[in-house]
Amino acid sequence: MKKVITFGTFDVFHVGHINILERAAELGEYLIVGVSSDALNFSKKKRYPIYNQSDRMKIISSLKFVNEVFVEESLELKLDYIKKYNADVLVMGDDWAGRFDWVKPACEVIYLPRTPSISTTEIIEIVKMT
């Protein structure tokens, strides 16, 4: 069984998130999603996500094409997670193109094009302005 793994914050869930998860699932038979922790987001962006990690995980778990969800505690542990979950393919959005090629000895790496014109950051900005 081909296992696919992907990672993200998936805050303020939107159609770009659905599209990448749906396409990632089509690349194998089992989709595992690492949802980045609240602490990891704070350390990266100096703000907490709008939805906390347990709510973000609940949303992702409820999708019909997602088989397993876990909390991603550190960006540097990608290879450990790939091994732990026996993933055959790592999928990332092409905003990360080339950045994870170093895990290639362990698994295939595929960067999928982002859905144009939508992001969590942009949604937050629009809501703040209105």
Binding site for ligand CTP (CB under 6 A): 8-10, 16-17, 19-20, 92-93, 95, 114-115, 118-121
The nearer residue to ligand CTP, 17 or 78, going by C-beta atoms, is 17
Which amino acids are annotated catalytic?
44, 46
Residue number with the smallest Cβ distance to ligand CTP: 93
For residue 81, the minimal CB distance to ligand CTP (Å) is: 15
How far apart (Å, rounded) are the C-alpha atoms in residues 30 and 100? 21
Strands 30-36 and 108-112, sheet pairing: unpaired
For residue 92, the minimal CB distance to ligand CTP (Å) is: 5
The nearer residue to ligand CTP, 3 or 56, going by C-beta atoms, is 56
Q: Which of 77, 46, 58 is nearest to 10 (CA)?
A: 58
For residue 46, the minimal CB distance to ligand CTP (Å) is: 12
